Structure 1
């Protein structure tokens, strides 16, 4: 395990789960910490002040890191949070940026509720192992083209070039299969306003974007698994974009 991945995991497990904020500051974060999470003030002091209150409200915290990928000095983690014996449950998609020593210096996330009823496939869980490491750059290029051609430029006729008809879908609003995903994009008038970050490792590619869905702006993560040059599995996570007046840091991007 790389140092940056170890530090990102420890920030979650030792920090948020176990409440060891001082340990996080001293061992896992860098000298500065730029924050983009909604409602969390900037820098290390802001992290501490937010979670001191969070721990009081949620004394029981069960956190599962389901999947991770690394790309350069960035780490993506996909997390299930179960608070106060399941009183509330969240799916969190996070990107951490590390410094040259692997310490975490910047953080972006999107937090969405874990649904009360589950369809064919869970919104976060599923088999996870990284394969096709030699195809990382090809897979990232394919996803970027999909994002631009279909999701930004609306060239829906190119959809089948990128997405398998047998697509496994984890979004609980969308039925299984590529055709259902395409229909959802059209019916909801989904448009990717801009793509902030694309990360990849092997057969997994993650995109973090600002997305317009049915008249509402969202900060939006997509997690794609690819096989033989097509997207074959899809998870996503979205959060309504906060108003500028409500920001306590630099904002979602």
Structure 2
């Protein structure tokens, strides 16, 4: 995991039952990878959970399993944390082969909101995207708010509402927002949209919807990752991160 060019050590994750099971969900597989491979740096599990042809889109990490292992080996050289930190995982949304994870990372006095997106294939991580944005003193609410997914809400309906929002005049975003709408990113609100936007992927679980978008602001290209909470047919809560797409990356796969 990178934080503005600095490799960071994630410290604590939700507990997963590692006993043998007849089946294990993609969400559970991702949590195992965070906890055992990223946090504990147990490289013996890489072959079990990471495909050899793993496709990397994070701009600072080299492609493939080899690139991921290079990053993990570097992380082994970093000082181990002296204190156990709370879990950085705030929200996790899964649909079909995709899992999106919203994280609040704190490292060496810096704090950032990160959203990772994984595509899984045959029970292994096959592809990874991410985007991150620093959290300043004025943005302390970027990751707080509703955490639990309301599974009684039809994910198809949640996705449809967000899709309609993107398909229509975004300058009239308030039409789609609930009266008590909560915005968590004051720098990238739904009422302050980019000059142009392209959606690449949209996944939903219950009342939470993740949208991976590419936007243009003042001639610069940004990765825009959004999480929406839908309630009674409208968008009730919104989190996001935005990261400028660099001209040079560690691979040729692009950020999308």
TM-score band by shorter chain is: 0.7 to 0.9
Q: Where do 1:166-185 residues align within 5 Å?
A: 166-173=180-187, 181-182=190-191, 184-185=192-193
Stretches of structure 1 lacking an aligned partner (at least 5 in a row): 175-179
In terms of mean alpha carbon deviation, does 105-114 or 7-16 score higher? 7-16
Does 1:165 pair with 2:186? no
| C-alpha separation in 2, matches of 1:125 and 1:144 | 24
Please state how far the C-alpha of 1:197 moved relative to its aligned partner: 0.3
Equivalent residue for 1:233, pick from 211, 230, 237: 237
Does 1:210 pair with 2:229? no
Partner of 1:246: 249
- Whether the 8 Å contact between 1:97 and 1:107 is mirrored in structure 2 is yes
| C-alpha separation in 1, matches of 2:125 and 2:177 | 34
Equivalent residue for 2:145, pick from 123, 126, 133: 126
Please state how far the C-alpha of 1:130 moved relative to its aligned partner: 1.4
Q: TM-score, normalised by structure 1?
A: 0.82
* Compared CA separation, residues 125 and 139, structure 1 to 2 (3 A): same
SS in 1 for 2:88: strand
Aligned residues: 231
Please state how far the C-alpha of 1:43 moved relative to its aligned partner: 0.7
Please state how far the C-alpha of 1:247 moved relative to its aligned partner: 4.1
Q: Which runs of 4+ in 1 moved over 6 A?
A: none
- Whether the 8 Å contact between 1:147 and 1:192 is mirrored in structure 2 is no
Please state how far the C-alpha of 1:26 moved relative to its aligned partner: 2.6
Q: TM-score, normalised by structure 2?
A: 0.81
Q: Where do 1:42-121 residues align within 5 Å?
A: 42-57=63-78, 59-60=80-81, 62=85, 63-83=87-107, 86-100=108-122, 102-118=123-139
More helix by share: 1
* Compared CA separation, residues 55 and 239, structure 1 to 2 (3 A): farther
RMSD of aligned C-alpha atoms?
Answer: 2.3
* Compared CA separation, residues 21 and 204, structure 1 to 2 (3 A): same
Stretches of structure 2 lacking an aligned partner (at least 5 in a row): 1-15, 17-23
Partner of 1:41: 62
